[in-house]
Amino acid sequence: MSEKVEELLEFLTSRDNSQAYQALKALEEMSAESNCLYPHMDKFIAMASSGNSYVRTRGLALIAHNAKWDVDGIIDGYLEHITDEKPICARQCIKLLPLLAEAKPALAPKIVSALRDANVARYADSMRPLVQKDTRDSLLAIEH
């Protein structure tokens, strides 16, 4: 399985977005079943800082899917992406926050506070309502 994991991890940063997306989905499934990807958390954190918004989004997704295994506390850096420069990346981050809150219930108040304090004015009029809707949906899911 280790070789398969390494191959999928390599595909995450592929220029072929279809291949990268398929790798992401496979890795998300693996994350649901075991902590086999937790040793790669540093890679996911590095991806979340990538200049490429697609890579950033994949990193954020894998961080969220592996949060239940995390003992190091990656939340502050993660929450910065609520107002990522790219609204699509911010939206994905926001949509994943209920998963993070479910995995780490003690972080839910901090996540809720970050969502409530997020200034989405930086986004174009066409994207702002979408980010606001995602924020409302995530708040509802977390505070249920």
Q: What is the CB-side half-sphere exposure of residue 18 using CA atoms within 13 A?
A: 0
> How far is 74 from 67, CA to CA, in rounded Å?
8
If 0-12 CB within 10 Å is exposed, 13-18 middle and 19+ buried, where does residue 3 land? exposed
pTM over the 0.85 mark: no
Hey, what are 108's tokens?
């839910």
pLDDT digits (tens, 9 = 90+) for 92-134: 999 999 999 998 898 899 999 999 999 999 999 999 999 999 9
Asked whether the CA dihedral 10, 16, 18, 21 is positive or negative, the reply is positive
